[in-house]
Structure formats: C-alpha cells, structure tokens
Amino acid sequence: MTPTRATKPERGRGALGPALELVHTGRAPTRAVLTAELGVTRATAGAVAAELEALGLITVDSRPTAAGSQGRPSHRLSVNPDGPVVLAAQVHADGFRAALVGLGGRIVATEPGRLTVEADPAQVLAEVVGVGARLLRETGRRCLGAGLSVPSAVAEPEGTALNPLHLPWPPGVPVREIFTRCLAEAGIPGPSGDAPMVGHAANDINLVALAEHRHGAGRGARDLLCVATAHRGVGGALVLDGRLHTGSSGLALEVGHLTVDPNGRSCHCGGRGCLDVETDPLAFLEAAGREPGPETGMLRRALDLLRTEYAADPAVRDAAHLLTDRLGLGLAGLVNILDPDRIILGGLHGALLEVDAERLHAVMEERSLWGRSGTVPVLACALEHNSLVGAAELAWQPVLDDPMAALGS
Amino acid sequence: MTPTRATKPERGRGALGPALELVHTGRAPTRAVLTAELGVTRATAGAVAAELEALGLITVDSRPTAAGSQGRPSHRLSVNPDGPVVLAAQVHADGFRAALVGLGGRIVATEPGRLTVEADPAQVLAEVVGVGARLLRETGRRCLGAGLSVPSAVAEPEGTALNPLHLPWPPGVPVREIFTRCLAEAGIPGPSGDAPMVGHAANDINLVALAEHRHGAGRGARDLLCVATAHRGVGGALVLDGRLHTGSSGLALEVGHLTVDPNGRSCHCGGRGCLDVETDPLAFLEAAGREPGPETGMLRRALDLLRTEYAADPAVRDAAHLLTDRLGLGLAGLVNILDPDRIILGGLHGALLEVDAERLHAVMEERSLWGRSGTVPVLACALEHNSLVGAAELAWQPVLDDPMAALGS
DNA sequence: CTCTCTTTGTATCGCTCCCAAACAAAGCGG
DNA sequence: CCGCTTTGTTTGGGAGCGATACAAAGAGAG
C-alpha cells in the first residue's frame, strides 16, 4: 500500500490546468479576465500566467493595446503560436488526413492522403502517422500528444473500432493500440522524453462535438448535443460540462435508431423507420428521385444537390422537407431524454438547417413535451476540419488537465 | 519558521466533503479505508475524521473489532446515529409522507398522511411540513435541510412542477418556492441559525435513482439509469458520477416517449406506441383483460395481479410477456443513447423483472446494437421509501459538498 | 499639460493545508 | 517474551494562496 501520492519536488499549481483551458478556449483574453474566471487574486493569476509562459504554452503581452477602456490596460493572453503541437490524424471513407494542431485549435500544418491499402488498418494508420511524422520533422515542433479520429464507434476502455463505416475493416480492430504502435515505429517520442507516446482514438462525431464545443458553434454551451451524418447513417455526441460524455463503455449517443417514421423502411437494427436510414444522404437522394450512386461521396452529392437545386427543383425541396420533418422528430425525442441547452448539426443535417431552419424548429416545437425543445438553439457546425481538431483536443486533454505533469518538467 | 502552532483545529476543509460522502455511502467503514479512498496520508485522514466527529456528523470508534486481520486494527467509522437529520417530504397520488432522515439514508422517524384538500398545493405542502415540524419537535433533532419529492417534472432553475401526475394541481406550480415558504411558516430555522431554511424539490423518479445509487441497488454504479412507473406513465432518471443528471433545465430523461410499438395506441405526445402508454399499469391491466378501475391505486392493483396470478392465469402471463417485450425494446433504445453500466427498474417494471428477467434480457440483447445492452446488469429497486430517501439526499447535498459551510460554524 | 481617478500588475508577509518522516500503539505469530 | 505488520499520532517544514500595500498605465477634467 502506498498512501504517498505524487511526488514532492514537482510543484503542481492547482489552477494551472484551468487557466490553460481558459486561454486555450479563448475565454481568457487578458490577465484581468483570467483573474476573474479563476476566482483568485491578481497575484495568483499573475504567477499562473507567468508559469504557463515559462512552459512555452502561452504568451503574455504587456504591450499597449489601445483598449479605450478605463484604468490600466491588462496584459493580453494568447496561445503561443510557436509553442508545442499535437499530432492529429483522421481516417475516413475518402482517405486520410494528418495535421499538427497547436493550442487554441490552430492547425499549424496539415496534409491529406488517399488510402492505398484500405483493408489493412495497421498499414493505413502507419501511412497517416508517417505523414504526421514528416510534418513534425519539417516544422521542428515539439509534439505533446496524438489523437486519432475514426468513422466508427470506439469501445472503451479497449479502444477498439466496433463498426468501421465505409472502410473494409473487420469489426473490433484495436485502433488505439495500433495507433500507439505506429507512433512508436515512426520514432515519435513521448512528451516526457523516455516514455513512449500513447495515442488516443475516438469516434469522429464525438470529436466533432468536442471541437465545436471548444472552438466552434458549441462554445459556451454546458450540455451540447451534436447530431451529424456522414455518407450513411447518423451519429450523435454529447458534451457535458466541457467533457465528452461517452457513456460507461464509450458507446453512448448511438442516436441513429430512434424511430422517426413508424411506417418507414426497415433498418439493420431490427426496427423500422430509424433516424439512421430516414435522414441520411442516401435517404435524401432517394427521396429526391436521384440515383444515389456509390456510397463514397454520397454526402458530397447530397450536399451539392440540396444547395444548388433546393430553390429550383420541387422534388429536392420536398425531399428536404421530408427529411427535416423526420430530423425534427428525432431531435425532439433526444431533447426529451437529454435536455441539452444547445444542439449543433453536422453533415447533411447542418445543410438542412441552413436551408430551412424555421421548419425544423416548428417540428421540434410541435413534438416537444413541455414546449421547450422548440426553444433549444439549433446551430450548424462552424469549424473546418472539426473532427481533426477534435482529435487534437483529445490529445491536448492531458496537458489541459495538468500542464506540469504532461510536460514532464 | 516561527512556531505559530496550534491556532485553530480548522483542518481538512478540502477533503471534508468527500470524506463525509464516503462514510455516508458506506464506502469508508474504517479510517484506513478512508485514507486509501481519499488518497491522502494517514495524518490527514485522521484529522479529517476527527473534524467530522467534532461536527457531530460521524462517530469514530477506536474499540477493538476482532477483525482477525494482521496489524493494528483500524478505527471504525460510522454515521452518528444521534446526529443531525434532514426533513424529507413526499407528495403522491395516495397521500403524503414526512420523515426525518439521518446520514446513511437512515429514516429516524416517519409518518404518512392523507390529502385533505388536494387541489391547493400550498395547503398540501403546509400539511406535510407541519407533520415534519412535529416530528422534529418530538425527536429534538437538529435539522440541516429539507427536500421534497413530487410526482412531476420539475423545471430548473425555477423549481416549478410542470405536469403534476394524479394530482389536481395546475401545471407550473412553483413547488420549491411554496415548500420553502411553508418551512419558514412552520418555524423551521436554517442550519446557520439566522438565515431561513431553503427547501429543495425534485421529481420523484429522479430521487428514486439518487437514493438507490447511494444506498440501494445502484451502489457503485458510475452511470446509473433508472426507469420506473407510477400509476400511469413511465419516468426515467440518470445518475452520472454520483450526481443526478437533470439536463440543462431539469427536464432530462423524459423517457416515456420512445416508440416501442409502431402500431400501438396513440399518445398525448402526438406519437404512437410510446413506452409511456404501452408499459404502464393501465396497459398491463388492459392487456390482461382486467377492468383498470380508478387511476389511484392502479399500480398496486397491477402489482398484485402480476404477483399472484402470473403463474396461474395465462392472460396475465401473456400480458406480462407483452409488456416485458416492449420494455426491453425501450431499454435497448436507452442503452444505445446513454450507455449506462447498470439499470434499475421500479414500480411495475421492477415487478416485471422479478417475474421474468430472462425474457427481458433476451429482448434487450436481440435489439442491442453492439451486443452490449444484453450485458448491462438490470436490477429491481431495493430500497423502501426510496423517493423519500432521495429527497433527503437532495437536502444532504450541501452538507456533503462542504460540511463546514453547511453547518455554519 | 498636469492632476486625479480607475484599473491592473507586483512585491511582501503570513496563514493554512497537507505531506513526509519518525515514533507509538495494537494485534498476530513465534 | 520478542519480532512483524498495519495503523494511529506527533512534529516539522514546504508550497500555495490570500491579503495588503504600493507602483504603473491609461482616461478624462480642468
């Protein structure tokens, strides 16, 4: 038994993590605001900011700012643009993408790629990590973590991809383990020097929600629900109090099998008229009387059709209305269960919102139990490469939780 | 360093709350376990325990225990049976109940009552609080808080009962405000002496979940889902990391309107075949071919019928199977969205589980997406007066969060 | 331009919390 | 009786942080 916790020589400032998160999410633009947000004295906030600057994570700018407000202008806080980064990787139906992402969700470098040997997860991940490692060499940045976005539910704590979508992968691939091994083989060291880099992996829609919560349309929300489509199917994610809610085994928010049309088409889940099959790009293309074509690129085609033909083609408009009605039904059901204070929509759903927000609100209001789901703000996702940024957020999390420990100094 | 030693015994302010919660929930039976659970040194745990004992909340017993294990026996920790209490009140269709509840969920005194003037919430609550005040006088206990359980969704932060069930109350009654006023009028002072007592109020099923999580069938669960019936309708609640998840406006877990039978009866929500109308006592009595009778007492009659006639009457058995199948469908849907690590069932649902658990598991497994909802443990509620105890938990929460502040010393 | 007001940054002091270490106590087994 | 193990207790000291006083940097008034 070891009741002795942690070590003593490491002076761990308690407020260091929360302070970094405030700067990271842009909620503490100045030291004065940081002081107020942390609820500490100016002296303490100053020490914390100085510490974070010494760690190379943020910059404290005491230069004048032409603020215009009264009193002495506060020092400006910002993420250090030349600071460390994390490696973010994304695998999807059309290919992959690697990126280096700094604090604040800033993409420092990124590069896409096409899948050559789709069927082998290890080889695909090795390719992505290889590109990331090259970016690291080219930029010479210090890398503090690594995160991976996959189009599949990821079971915790094993880190296995249960249902890879649009990828010829078998179910149950241990993506986190493979990702971590690839990092080691690419020669990317861990932040502490000697220990190897451990990779994080999660479902892409979860990461979209996380990224949008920190840097996009979900900023400031306390209970954020995210619903989005890829090419096929519908996914969901929930951010509670700033943390991803993945459930007890990582499989929460499988929202695709809510019933939105009792007489709808049958679904592989055994039900009928599920959100999954009634509001995805395939359903839209079919409802509009278009040839759906191959699965890959279906989202793109649906988006193009909706945006270009909505005003002109009655069939497209009718299809959009049909899907909007079903989506509203599903969202109302989710509001009854989750009671979020904001909803963000991605993929085709985001586009449906942009095309006719009023219709969606009307359906939700009609179906809401206490007249509230009609009042929940619904927004479209606002961030580019959001699941990639989300993968970076995953990798940043240990640093945000305890900067001193994560930096190994 | 100057020897300014032994100034005040005001120690352990940080870990005081967590320590009290550990003793309260029975997870720290000895000081040694407390030390390990808190992750502090023996010295700190000792100081914390002594502080809590000095506050009169727990007792530290250094007497031998005939443990049989090696080493010096640890001091035993337990809730102080003569310590302070909270006032718990419950209003339901058949009447009301007041109680004094100590730490550990121990009911010190309780007394039921019948509603005389149902239609006036203020008068009903005044009656309940009156009984509670009498119990307080009779026992002479110090009262640290007050909690109320109502059969209605309670909107936050207003504290209004939106849909009182089986009570002739209008929707939107500000129950928390009225409750607090009744406490003041009954002459019950706040814990700090001068400030008045503020009441807490919540939905009964939420409180069932809370009570069962702390002291009943939900102990040790991290993500606990509770589903239960009263006389009519179905309610749900979720406890995440030991805290009730009520959503952003207190209205989460309205699980009654999941579709479990696409061709089922129509529901007031506008849908068809909702869990609410397909698995409640009325649905059961009708399915069994019985005359449902008046709404009040419907749960009792359904329970009696199920328990006494299940083995003998094929119609009852068929009805039970029908409801079990529908319930399994609903639970599978909830597992897909919430991914709990345990489910507890109350009311008729608990009885259905006791009668045929295997059938329920089979349905859930068949409808589970990743073969996991079949593996989620499903238990029946195990606590008597659980919503009353839950109301007490609500009242204890400030004390558990910060004992020093809550006791006003 | 200078004086005052307001707001913020900085230096110092002292207090509180809590760890670490050493020691004492209480049971078990020889 | 003495070791062994586990736990409670005492003591010293260090780190974090609040409180306070003072300095700095702008805005506005005259």
Please write the tens of the pLDDT for every residue from B69-102: 888 999 999 999 999 999 999 999 889 999 999 9
Q: Which of A234, A238, A248 to mutate to test the interface with B (most CBs of B within 10 A)?
A: A248
Same-domain pairing of B360 and B281? yes
Instruction: Calculate the angstrom distance between C1' of C28 and CA of A217.
Output: 65
Cα distances (angstroms) measured from residue B28 to each of A135, B20, B24, B45, B147:
51, 9, 8, 11, 25
Q: Are residues A35 and A52 in the same domain?
A: yes
Q: How many CB atoms lie within 10 A of CB A290?
A: 17
Is residue A289 domain-resident?
yes
Nearest chain B CA: its distance from A66 CA (Å):
39
Q: Say yes or no: A121 and A250 in one domain.
A: no
Same domain (yes/no): A189, A296: no
* Strand D close residues, chain B 210-239, CB < 7 angstroms: none
User: Under an 8 A CB cutoff, do B370 and A153 touch?
Assistant: yes
Asked whether residue B260 is domain-assigned, the answer is yes
Out of A25, A44, A79, a domain closes at: A79
* Paired tokens of B36: 């390990």
Residue B268's pLDDT is 87
Q: Which residues contact A366 (CB under 8 A, 6 or more apart)?
A: A332, A374, B270
Q: Are residues A238 and A352 in the same domain?
A: yes
In a domain, A311, yes or no: yes
* Whether residue B210 has pLDDT greater than 80: yes
AA letter at A241: D
Residue B1 in domain = no
Q: Output the pLDDT for position B62.
A: 84
Closest CA to B60 of B85, B17, B28: B28
User: Rounded mean pLDDT of A280-307?
Assistant: 96
Residue range B320-341: average pLDDT? Answer: 97
The enclosing domain of B401 has a CATH number of: 3.30.420.40
Confirm whether B52 is domain-assigned.
yes
Is B162 within a domain? yes
d(CA B341, CA B373): 9
Q: What is the DSSP letter of B265?
A: -
Q: What is the CATH number of the domain that holds B43?
A: 1.10.10.10
- Residues in B touching A257 (Cβ below 8 Å): 333, 336, 369
* More confident of the two residues B404 and B64: B404
Residue A259 CA and nucleotide C6 C1' are separated, in Å, by 60
Helices (H), B160-241: 175-185, 204-215
Closest nucleotide C1' to the C-alpha of A14: D16
Q: Extract the tokens encoding B359.
A: 């059938």
Asked if the Cβ of residue A43 lies within 7 A of any atom of strand D, the reply is yes
Residue B213 within a domain: no
Same structural domain, A271 and A301:
yes
Q: What is the pLDDT of residue A2?
A: 31
∠ CA B14-B246-B238 to the nearest 5 degrees?
90
- 3-state SS of chain B: helix, strand, coil percent to 5? 40, 20, 40
> Does B4 map to a domain?
no
Residue A3: pLDDT band (50, 70, 90) is very low
Pairwise CB contact (< 8 Å): B247 & A339: yes
Alpha-carbon Rg for chain B in angstroms: 23
Say yes or no: Cβ of A67 under 7 A from any atom of strand D: yes
DSSP state of A81: T
Q: How far is A223 from chain B (nearest CA, A)?
A: 6
Residue A370 has pLDDT above 60, yes or no: yes
Q: Return the pLDDT at A409.
A: 60
Whether A335 and A197 map to the same domain: the answer is: no
For residues B301-330, give the mean pLDDT. 98
Query: How much of chain A exceeds pLDDT 90, in percent?
Result: 84
Say how many CB pairs under 8 Å bridge A and B.
Answer: 120
> Whole-number Å distance, CA A41 to C1' D19?
9
Instruction: Tell if A76 CB is < 7 Å from nucleic strand D.
Output: no
Last residue of a domain, one of B25, B49, B79: B79
Where helices occur in A55-147 by DSSP H, the ranges are: 121-139
Q: Is the Cβ–Cβ distance between A49 and A110 less than 8 Å?
A: no
Q: Are residues A330 and A240 in the same domain?
A: yes
**Based on the domain organization, do B396 and B317 belong to the same domain?**
no
Residue A30, CB, strand C, below 7 Å: yes
The one-letter amino acid code at A219 reads R
Mark yes or no for CB contact A247/B338 under 8 Å.
yes
Number of domains in chain B: 3
Same domain, A221 and A365: yes
Cis, bond preceding A157 (omega within 30 deg of 0): yes
CA distance B124 to B130: 10
Domain encompassing residue A266: 217-380
> In this predicted model, what pLDDT tens digit does every residue of A311-356 receive, in sequence order?
999 999 999 999 999 999 999 999 999 999 999 999 999 999 999 9
Q: Which of B34, B52, B79 is the last residue of a domain?
A: B79
A31, A169: one domain: no
Query: Quick one: closest CA in A to B260, which residue?
Result: A259
Do B267 and B253 lie in one domain? The reply is yes
